[in-house]
A and B are shown apart, each in its own frame.
Chain A
Amino acid sequence: MSDLVLLRRGVYHDSVSLMRVSSSLSALPGVQVAVVAMATDLNVGLARDLGFDVPDADPSALLAAIRADDADSAAAELDRLLEALSARSAPGEAAQAPPRTTRAAARSRPADLVLVSVPGEHAFAEAMDALEAGLHVMVFSDGVSLEQEVALKRLADERGLLVMGPDCGTAVVAGAGLGFANVLKPGPVGVVAASGTGAQQVTCLLDLAGVGVTHVLGVGGRDLSAEVGGLATIRALRMLDEDPGTELIVLISKPPSAEAAAAVEEVASSLRTPVVRALLGDTGTDLTAATGEALRALGRPVPQWPSWTPPAGSFTGGGPLRGLYAGGTLCEEARRIAGRGEFTDFGDDTYTRGRAHPLIDPSLRLEALGRCRAGDVVLMDVVLGHAADPDPAARLAPAIAAGPAQVVVALVGSDGDPQGLRRQAEALTRAGAWVFASNAQAARFAKGTA
């Protein structure tokens, strides 16, 4: 077994693509561990924690740390995989290099929207390019400063454009699912959401109740702060109001500043389209209740939300409660409802700098699950849809079955999602988990009051 540490300058690939390279390498016979990532402090630290001797590195370099019986052949495989990544974006038969900036892309062909998911400290430049080219923009990246968010949204406001985000995890625009997006039926509901996973929970429950959506417009978690003043929320509300297909607007917001709340309320109450307000937080509602309210506003019955119980064993509960979440809003909601326990949001900036979001890369959560003890109750979310882990149960179910803790899962997904909602639920229950389509119900169950 030998260690190989490589630092390569001038090579860049996004964290998700590199995660795939890491897992391909790790799957090779004779390879104990492989970390292939950009050399951010977090990733260098991760490699050092694994015992690799990593020199200080420029964060723009690519780091590969491999421990294998035959490190040389693993390195050759690494080269092959990296080459394949570059080849994917290589010029076509016209030998025309792909655009290097959003600005160049916008000049190359007509477009409507820019989806920015570069590391947060670089997202501003790309989003500015979008606005300067007259394009709407969704900033998926997190770690964008508040100052930059304000600058982007003010410019967008001047130009009549929408900035979704920053840290906007999901959107649906005229049927196109952007970011982490569930496959939703077309229907009468338009959603404006300050929270990505919050929007996913509401729209998936609506979908399970047979109600579809027109559009889901994310605005980012800070849009209703005093600094931003609800600029994106107001624009999104107006856009949905003018959209002929939208009969009801659901506005999912986090606790707003007083000024932003007043500004948004003034617009919301002036719209022709009715607005159901779902204010999350200590004094507000939960996502499942808000969904019920929306259904009632449409004159639709509120169904029993699906849940699945394991074939054997009964829930004893009562032990220490550990929340291992990928969705920030879902984590907050569960923490609030449970009222006790130790909750971790693995989707937070501190865990995602230079690595993929936990909806894609489950490793950190699986490690945390592995540390749980007998008697612990683990509450976690599994979010399905485009861009999420193509089969989350494949790695999670064995970990649940192997561990001593009792596991409760909030499974956020629709029947149309590529992972298969029911197939995932069955795999998780077979491993011994209690599974709920509603996060609020999952939290109440885990707490012991369901």
Chain B
Amino acid sequence: MTELLSAPPRVITVGAALLEEALAAQAIETIPVSWRPPLPGTEDALAAVLADPRRAAANATAVRRLTSAAPQLVGVRRASELLPGRTFLHAGPPITWERASGPLRGALIGAMLLEGLAADEAEAERRIGTVTLEPCHHHRMVGPMAGVVSPSMWMLEVRDAEHGGSAYCSLNEGLGKVLRYGAYGPEVLERLRWMEEVLGPVLAAALARTGPIDLRGIIAQALQMGDELHNRNRAATSLLLRELAPAIVEAAPEQAAAVLRFINSNDHFFLNAGMAASKACADAARGIPGSTMVVAMARNGTDFGIQVSGLGDRWFTGPAGVPDGLYLGAYGPADANPDIGDSTITETCGLGGFAMAAAPAIVRFVGGEVADAVNATRSMYEITLAEHPAYQIPGLDFRGAPVGIDVTLVARTGILPVVNTGIAGRVAGTGQVGAGLVKPPVEAFTAALTALAEAL
């Protein structure tokens, strides 16, 4: 402990610039902090939560569990095996049909038609009250965009080989007019039926042959190949396809070409596997008393909600924002629905917007220049607890991705998570209209912080 007195100290200065200047004038090495006051109204809760003696150890445990999880793709299962009867799932925090936005309503209508619970749109709307709506997150599942899961759908099954948990995500339908963006036209339903009858069973048979596929490894490699695993999944999809292709051919020679062509035509096929992997990792970090780490961020098209490790399954929500992004064709901001989907589970685990610096090919989404992507990732180190030991970013000298969002750091810096997202059309049935960035509502984080303080 006398080390401090053995040589002139290197001093981190936080506060008055004058004191930093006085040290610099003595040729003392300084590291100035660019400090600003915390978010207004958070002072008392911050003081209480930061003084919680459990916090540091709880957060260390939480982020260690999140980053040491070993998600493996082990199979595909029918949702009906995993859900109670007459239950449909949706993305984000809990919501009713009455408050649901266009794309979520569209996807629910599509699911009613798919399951044969209604013959047309009008009947589907009338009979929606006969099914129970619950968030995917309440069933260890995640769903992209509307995230609607109905009993006949196939779910990717991911197991955490380190801690033993399981997580599930539906199969990706591709781009354009698809159910997850609220489209429910004939071609949408036709594709879903093909997935139900062909894609699901073939994948099940193929995965039985391959054995568990190491998703942590694929994600780590894909980051080094230009994916950030949310808005770009091209490398990861290619890597997964390489793993699966021989087994698909062996398992189903008749259907292999169609299945491989389907996967190959969809750069986002891996997204759902990456989401289930992220869900498995985040769930490994749940329920640690005193932890201030975020274990879920999810949107239902109306609300943006988060869950925090130390606060059980409670949701803290704020209004979902409209993404700022690039639009397809003639669509524009007026066509955009507020933010929707469970895919922010990737950001929760250090991917997506947090790993933007790994994906220079899609910097158009974050302002157009590679430096913007680098800055986006760098800023996330300010609000995260750790750097991921396996997910590395080549452009930052292979620094680990920023992971483990700490609500106290969000309140202290006012820096919100950077979230990449697709943009759904606001009118049910439209489908995807663009992609970009969205700002989570600050009140979700301040409400969680207040609840942490109240729980002391």
**Chain A contacts to B: CB under 8 angstroms:** 12, 14-17, 58, 60, 88-89, 95-119, 121-122, 124-126, 128, 130, 132, 135-136, 140-141, 145, 147-148, 151, 160-162, 173-179, 181, 214-215, 235, 238-240, 242-243, 356, 360, 386-387
Contacts and interface: CB of A to CB of B under 8 A. Distances in A.
A101 B16 contact: no
Given A14-B17, A116-B15, A125-B46, A136 B10 contact: no
A386 B4 CA distance: 21
Contacts of A110: 10
25 contacts: A15-B16, A17-B16, A60-B37, A89-B17, A97-B378, A98-B33, A100-B382, A101-B413, A102-B12, A102-B33, A104-B381, A112-B4, A115-B14, A122-B37, A125-B46, A128-B50, A140-B15, A140-B16, A175-B8, A176-B8, A176-B11, A235-B1, A242-B2, A243-B2, A387-B22
Given A118-B15, A121-B47, A132-B56, 19 more contacts: A12-B35, A60-B40, A88-B17, A100-B34, A102-B14, A103-B409, A104-B382, A105-B31, A108-B31, A109-B31, A110-B10, A111-B11, A114-B11, A114-B13, A115-B13, A126-B35, A130-B12, A136-B4, A360-B18
Given A100-B36, A176-B23, A135 B12 contact: yes
A209 to B, nearest CB: 23
B38 interface: yes
A239 B2 contact: yes
Given A60-B37, A128-B50, A122 B31 contact: no
A238 B405 CA distance: 39
Contacts of B3: 112
Contacts of B8: 173-176
B131 interface: no
State the majority secondary structure of interface residues on A. Answer: mixed
Interface of B: 1-20, 22-23, 25-26, 28, 31-38, 40, 43, 46-47, 50-51, 56, 371, 374-375, 378-379, 381-382, 408-409, 412-413, 415
Given A112-B11, A113-B10, A148 B47 contact: yes
A174 B15 contact: no
Given A173-B5, A175-B8, A176-B9, A151 B51 contact: yes
Contact of B33 (A99, A174, A178): A99
Contact of A12 (B25, B32, B36): B36
Contacts of A126: 14-15, 33, 35
A147 B51 CA distance: 9
B22 A386 contact: yes
A103 B383 CA distance: 10
B47 A124 contact: yes
A105 B18 CA distance: 18
Contacts of A124: 47, 50-51
B5 A106 contact: no
A14 B412 CA distance: 16
Contacts of B12: 102, 105-106, 111, 113-115, 130, 135
Contact of B10 (A112, A117, A160): A112
A108 B26 CA distance: 22
A16 B15 CA distance: 10
Contacts of B14: 101-102, 105, 114-118, 126
B18 to A, nearest CB: 4
A89 B413 CA distance: 16
A122 B5 contact: no
A413 to B, nearest CB: 15
Given A12-B36, A122-B43, A141 B23 contact: no
Contact of B1 (A128, A160, A177, A356): A160
A122 B38 contact: yes
B34 A98 contact: yes
Given A12-B37, A101-B382, A181 B50 contact: no
B50 to A, nearest CB: 5
Contacts of A125: 38, 46-47, 50, 408, 412
A440 to B, nearest CB: 28
A184 to B, nearest CB: 12
Contacts of B415: 100
